[in-house]
Amino acid sequence: SALHVTQWISMENSSCMKEFILLSLSENQGVQKIYFVVFLLFYTLTVAGNLLIVLTVTSSRHLNSPMYFFLCHLSFVDVCYSSVTAPQMISGFLVENNTISFAGCIGQLFGLHFFGCTEIFILTAMAYDRYVAICRPLHYPALVSRRLCRLMLGGSWAGGFLHSTLQTLPTALLPFCGPNKVDHYFCDVRPLLHLACADTRAAGLAAVANSGVIALSCFLILVASYAVILVSLRGQTLAGWHKALSTCGSHITVVILFFGPCTFVYIRPSGDLSEDRSVAVFYTLVTPMLNPLIYTLRNGEVKGATRKLCRRKVGSG
């Protein structure tokens, strides 16, 4: 299992490197205390908002279409994705040296890419759902069946696991015998490659080819799908345009917020790691926090189901 692999890698490297020190977003103690309050609030809203979406979709009999099936799983992934990095970052604002064990660092690297890549594939599956719903509505029940949705979801998780394994194993097997200060607030491939006592150019290119190509290709697929949707709307009435775009608006917003920063960080073969730290906040914490707000505020069905769930909980309390 992934846990046993991590433990074995940790034993192999324990003679050289037992722990890493993660950098903070700021070296100013006063600013760090402000960041602690702000990001703790962000993380709390992320977990609460996404779990509310999960509870709303699973408890409502009306939110049973494929779009809400994927939205429920997207919210669950968002909670896991933020939880990989946010608690370590937030606690680090209160200590002088934010340390993480070698095994913890490798586990964080695996979880970051596992849940991040799974989210990318789920967003791509949601784009297919919207394309069929708008462009081929008469064939929608046949083209987006329950079985296909489960297969796409399973493929998203499997693809995320494969991607993360290919990112984690080569990095973890590198020798780490020098400085242990990671130039990031979480363990990622590029900052760790800078600390390895070996030639990492090939590993760096492989990492870019893996993460960068996946992010960019899925983003282009999403852009192409929405271009096709817009072309298909030619000749539609204003009401038809409004209905079609209202169903896609939330998804387009999430795609831009997530893929923009993610592609910027991973498509570049090299760059300033301090820039990566600032940009990474958007796709690891800000976007997962905004997803529930975006999908709830722009979707009347979700808003209605959420209000019913809250009234039911208050009434039962």
pLDDT, tens digit (0-9, with 9 covering 90-100), for 167-212: 999 888 888 887 888 888 899 888 888 888 887 778 777 877 788 7
Let me know if residue 53 belongs to a domain.
yes
190 within some domain: yes
Any domain includes 30 = yes
Instruction: For residue 260, name the pLDDT band (cuts at 50, 70, 90).
Output: confident
Does 15 map to a domain? no
Token pair recorded at residue 180 = 């242990």
Q: At what angle do helices 66-92 and 29-59 cross, to 10 degrees?
A: 160
* Residue 289 included in any domain: yes
Within 10 angstroms of residue 202's Cβ, the number of other Cβ atoms is 10
Q: Which of 179, 24, 195, 189 is nearest to 98 (CA)?
A: 24
Name the pLDDT band for 15 (thresholds 50, 70, 90). very low
Q: Is residue 106 part of a domain?
A: yes
Asked whether residue 100 is assigned to any structural domain, the reply reads yes
Number of domains in the chain: 1
Q: Which two tokens stand for residue 285?
A: 């914490």
Mean pLDDT of 217-244: 77
CA Rg value for the chain: 21
Q: From CA 276, how far away is CA 115, in angstroms rounded?
A: 19
Structure tokens at 198: 């070996």
- pTM for the model: 0.86
pLDDT bucket at 29, cuts 50 / 70 / 90: confident
- pLDDT score, position 106: 93
Residue 137 DSSP symbol:
G
Using DSSP, state whether 292 is helix, strand or coil: helix
Question: What pLDDT digit, counting tens, does each position of 60-92 carry?
Answer: 877 788 888 998 999 999 999 999 999 999 999
- Model confidence band, residue 14 (pLDDT cutoffs 50, 70, 90): very low
Q: Round to whole Å and give the CA distance between 306 and 293.
A: 12
Give residue 139's domain range: 20-315
- Residues 248-266: what's their mean pLDDT? 80
Decide if 80 is inside a domain: yes
Residue with tokens 């779009």: 67
CATH of the domain at 83: 1.20.1070.10
Q: Which residue has the higher pLDDT, 165 or 262?
A: 165
